[in-house]
Structure 1
Amino acid sequence: GPAIMSGRFIDIENHPTNDRIIYAGAAGGGVWKSNNGGASFSPIFDEHAQSIGKIKLDPKNPDNVIWVGTGEVWTRNSVSVGDGLYKSIDGGNTWKKNGFEKSERISSIEINPNNTQEMYVGVLGALWGDSEERGVYKSTDGGATWSKILYVNPTTGCSDVIMDPKDPNILYASMWEFRRTAWSFSSGGNNSALYKSTDGGKNWNKIHNGFPAGKLGRIAFAVAPSNSNILYSVIESEKDENKGLYRSDDAGANWKHLNNDFGLVVRPFYFSRIVIDPRNPDVVVKAGLFGSISRDGGKTFKDLGRMHPDIHDIVFDIKNSDRMYVATDGGMYRTWDGAATMEIVANLPVSQFYHLSLDNNEPYNIYGGLQDNGSWYGPSRSPGGIEA
């Protein structure tokens, strides 16, 4: 079958101490691992649900313990569903399910670096109907059991949970009210909100001082690893002039609207990831049609380097911020020059076929239309190449 194009990737996770090890989760192609800085990848999750929401490594044992939450969270009308949370204790060779079988979409996994028995999971939940599974969950026994610690209602799921990098008792969670039907999509409502807890999830408060009034949609946010008082949020709001990037310099107590460039606000249900340079809190990257990067604290942005459009996730190399990895609808890319130029990783066959057809030739040809990667065909029996 086709092998020279790639497909949609959702999430990237790099090893906390080994810059050669990178994990990537696909919309319909499982989890892939690289041991050589992204030069090549191998599949490690083929026997399980192939729609991935989130990958997380145990901060104390990242060589062996890997968590995978299944179910794509960029909720277009063609997404697949997941079937729960998985754990590997041997570096991805084998996997065991750890609950959340009915969650459909897991958006977040956070682990206390001081006590890895303490974990948090955000469940976005069902796309096409109500779900009691939505919300934020906590485990104090390494994922053996879970308790729900933040829940709004059956139509409002958790789109992100982030732990303060300096204080694991401080948590932020964005809750998103949404519903897709066969003929429409509703994003936002009175129940969408950004919450903060300072006691490990026992109590939660909205942190909206400076946010736009009225109903809110999906809220993307990030906490600066080098200065956890600095937060960025991209907000979907009712009025166009209030959409866009907000910044807080006091851990979410107050927010200031900085920017509503088109690249920041386009399709928030599909592009809702913000990433901050781990060494410089003024360098911010936002997922989008082409991806946007700011080097002045969010005041101005420019597009990332040329690559396949529809950018879903970005990670900075742990040692050098000029090296970045980017997940797109056309596969994985990497850069060595701060995203000025991009190189595709060419060996990731995770294309999503929307439709297949045959002709009446002998041997017959097989035709397929791919998600954002053109139409392809090839002979049913003879060896050889493929044609676009």
Structure 2
Amino acid sequence: MSHRITNAARAGALIVGLLLSPVLGRGEEIKIDSETFGGLQLRSIGPAAMAGRIAAIDAIQGQRLTLYVGSAGGGVWKSSDGGTTFAPVFDKYCQSIGAIAIDRTRPKTVWVGTGESWTRNSVSVGDGIYKTTDGGDNWQRMGLDSCERIARIAIDPKHGDTVFVAATGHLWDAHPQRGVYRTRDGGKTWQRVLFVDNETGCADIALDPSDPSILYATMWQFRRKPWSFSSGGPGSGVYRSRDGGDTWTRLTAGLPAGNLGRCAVAISPARPSRVYLFVEARKSGMFRSDDRGETWTEGISSPGTNTRPFYFAHLIADPKDPNRVYKTATGLLVSDDSLRTWTGVGGGVHSDFHALWVNPTNPDELFCGTDGGVYTSVDRGADWRFLGSLPVGQFYHVSYDMEWPYNVYGGLQDNGSWTGPSRRSGGIANRHWRVLGGGDGFWAFVDPTDPDLTYVEYQEGNILRVRRSTGETKQIKPLEAKDEAEYRFNWNTPMHVTAAGTLYLGAQFLFRTRDRGDTWERISPDLTTNDPVKQKQAESGGLSVDNSSAENHCTIFTICESPKNHEVVWVGTDDGNIQLTRDGGKSWTNVGKKLPGVPPATWVTCIEASHFDEATAYATCDGHGTGDMKTYVCKTTDFGKTWQSLTTPELKGYAHVVREDLVKPELLFLGTECGLFISVEGGAQWAAIKGDFPPVAVRDLAIHPRDHDLLVASHGRGIWILDDLTPLRGLTREVLAADAAFLPSRPSVEMIPS
């Protein structure tokens, strides 16, 4: 049995017991679970000034346009006013979205396929396909639970219970649940109607609007590892069915010979015999068929049409003009002459287009989804308007300053680094957020000894030191000497700033600066396994070489100096090492070889040195890059000589971060790919913090030392704050066993507008 904790502390005391049910009976075991903390409400502070990656869009025109948007990591959002306002409608379910489709015969029936199919290194995972029959008020999971990612959903325009699903499948390992699936009874049962092998999934599917028995599917053989990506192989190909999916024929006439990679297909609604095709191959290109796929003619490709097929492979045919087709890429491209020429129409829009919806009754109206959110155009892309009401930013890290009220800082996927207020008397608006740096933003810190200085990091260890009062900026990334090995920085390079102002940075070596980055000292040898097999990034990509350094491996990923002893520094690597120095870097010991239950070489995502004991530390590990989705969290109390597993059955999702409270060592917080968890017993039991907080990936956590707030960096729903941890520090077994109790809280503060 369990009590239920609420945010009643805002009145000055938090009451446990009499207001909460059920109440424990005498002598019963104290069980702490998600219901215990079901009343805790986290506060979303956005931002929506920049949004995260959008994976899917669908809409339907009624008296007003109803729009559904699927975020790569932030769930499904619905607008009933043409995009002016949005509300989340999928907060109880998996937040990684791959596909959305509205049943045109029953507009309140909407299908959602979870698991984004744009397979970059930071992509999340799905857990099947869902359906609503009441416009998003209620959802039911309809199966395909193990598909991991769904790229497209096609609904029969005449018989809405017949649905086809393009299941891309597992990214990190081989698995049989992939291919094309069909249901004829609204999702009650499914049949896999096209399958190649355990390595090959379906990347796209299109259904002929004039004859739904004709379908096209593109099959894709691919595999990602933490240190490489491979697109293409003999399993890839383009298929057609003429009997509603019962049988399929591989199409080859006029298409490139040899191995293919990711392909995209679109049927012209204005002339269904015309089919457009993008093909990744040794020589990628655009193709057109005017006889329903019997033969193909290669068109002209612009430099942008063939860019990064694993990330940009979506074709959309104009609903009224058979000669007009759109191709998503870094920008949005359009051909008005059946692939003879291409024009960019994405000017003024955030780069990296992934989704596009063209109004079938008014093709001038477009909605596009990019790495930076949703934009709309009413003139075929000549001009665009940003829809700034979607707080779906994909943060990697979060920090704070000591102003009042304090500000939060963080970096986002492809949206740079930003800072904004933790609260304002009139509420936090987009205009209150300020950009600090560009690129893929990661760490952003205020110097604890000089609040006028901010450190802003972007990919591969690049750090800017910014003096806010003057705007002076200096690049302070450490550089190799002539006789040194090339530094290997992780895409998400770890930084660590201490209260004394010491700054650490990790490559394969650990660097330290005590003069704010003017000079650096290397204080370690290579702390990784230095495995040469995992250092061939120049060859990564498969058919389309993609050596963006996002797969840099054998690198340091997490750093933590002990708050109790600055000579004690912990380092975790992406290839499974936990290295410890107790003498400020003079000597190092690998103490991560015997983590209980953790396979060798598992990525170490976080090391948290205890605030109370220099011998104590916590570690989280993540094996999803090899298909291992288990949660791993461990603790040592003897400098890593022995480790104890803190993993319990309540935990879900691979682990990103663990934080120990600053006041009560038994109070722990854990962020995983599936949400936020709390333990008040040092990890003996864990409970999910739900309330209004969705099961979104939590990449980082920070505790404000003055205000005692928990800051949550979600990778899909922006920044959240759990105000005032003081009551949680008062939770003991005796309090939880009592019929009623009063818990302390910080003094309340009312903000009065000036």
Q: Distance in 2 between matches of 1:313 and 1:380?
A: 32
Equivalent position of 1:386 in the other structure: 433
| AA at the equivalent of 2:160 | T
Percentage of matched positions with identical amino acids? 46
Q: Distance in 2 between matches of 1:235 and 1:357?
A: 43
Is the aligned partner of 1:105 residue 2:145?
no
Is the aligned partner of 1:202 residue 2:246?
yes
Where do 1:281-320 residues align within 5 Å?
A: 281-306=322-347, 307-320=349-362
Q: Distance in 2 between matches of 1:173 and 1:350?
A: 31
Structure 1 residue 379, shift from structure 2 partner: 5.0
Equivalent position of 1:13 in the other structure: 58
Q: Distance in 1 between matches of 2:67 and 2:169?
A: 27
Is the aligned partner of 1:32 residue 2:77?
yes
Structure 1 residue 18, shift from structure 2 partner: 5.5
Using structure 1 for the length normalisation, give the TM-score: 0.95
Instruction: Judge conservation of contact 2:333–2:346 (CA < 8 Å) in 1.
Output: no
Q: Distance in 2 between matches of 1:114 and 1:305?
A: 34
CA pair 204-32 structure 1, distance change in 2 beyond 3 A: same
Q: Distance in 1 between matches of 2:365 and 2:211?
A: 27
Equivalent position of 2:294 in the other structure: 253
CA pair 299-17 structure 1, distance change in 2 beyond 3 A: farther
Equivalent position of 1:76 in the other structure: 120
Can you give the 5+ residue segments of structure 1 that lack an aligned partner in the other structure? none
1:5-61: CA deviations, max 9, x gaps? 212111111116556112111111111112222222222111111111111112211
Task: Select 1:264's aligned residue among 293, 299, 305.
Answer: 305
Equivalent position of 2:451 in the other structure: none
Q: Distance in 2 between matches of 1:196 and 1:309?
A: 33
Instruction: Judge conservation of contact 1:231–1:249 (CA < 8 Å) in 2.
Output: yes
| AA at the equivalent of 1:222 | A
Where do 1:342-381 residues align within 5 Å?
A: 342-358=384-400, 365-380=407-422
| AA at the equivalent of 2:375 | Y
Equivalent position of 1:58 in the other structure: 103
Using structure 2 for the length normalisation, give the TM-score: 0.50
Task: Select 2:204's aligned residue among 152, 156, 160.
Answer: 160
Q: Distance in 1 between matches of 2:248 and 2:60?
A: 31
Task: Select 2:316's aligned residue among 268, 275, 285.
Answer: 275
Can you give the 5+ residue segments of structure 2 that lack an aligned partner in the other structure? 1-44, 436-754
Structure 1 residue 382, shift from structure 2 partner: 6.7
The farther-off stretch of 312-321 and 156-165 is 312-321
- Higher-Rg member (1/2): 2
Q: Distance in 2 between matches of 1:17 and 1:164?
A: 23
Q: Distance in 2 between matches of 1:336 and 1:343?
A: 9
Q: Distance in 2 between matches of 1:282 and 1:371?
A: 35
Give RMSD over aligned pairs: 1.7
Which secondary structure does the structure 1 equivalent of 2:272 belong to? Answer: coil
Task: Select 1:42's aligned residue among 87, 100, 103.
Answer: 87
Q: Distance in 2 between matches of 1:360 and 1:22?
A: 41
Which secondary structure does the structure 2 equivalent of 1:167 belong to? Answer: coil
| AA at the equivalent of 1:46 | D
Which secondary structure does the structure 1 equivalent of 2:212 belong to? Answer: coil
The farther-off stretch of 226-235 and 378-387 is 378-387
Q: Distance in 2 between matches of 1:100 and 1:275?
A: 26
Which secondary structure does the structure 2 equivalent of 1:190 belong to? Answer: coil
Structure 1 residue 360, shift from structure 2 partner: 6.8
Structure 1 residue 361, shift from structure 2 partner: 6.8
Structure 1 residue 317, shift from structure 2 partner: 1.5
Equivalent position of 1:120 in the other structure: 164
Instruction: Judge conservation of contact 1:16–1:59 (CA < 8 Å) in 2.
Output: no
The farther-off stretch of 362-371 and 51-60 is 362-371
Q: Distance in 1 between matches of 2:172 and 2:399?
A: 28
Instruction: Judge conservation of contact 1:12–1:23 (CA < 8 Å) in 2.
Output: yes
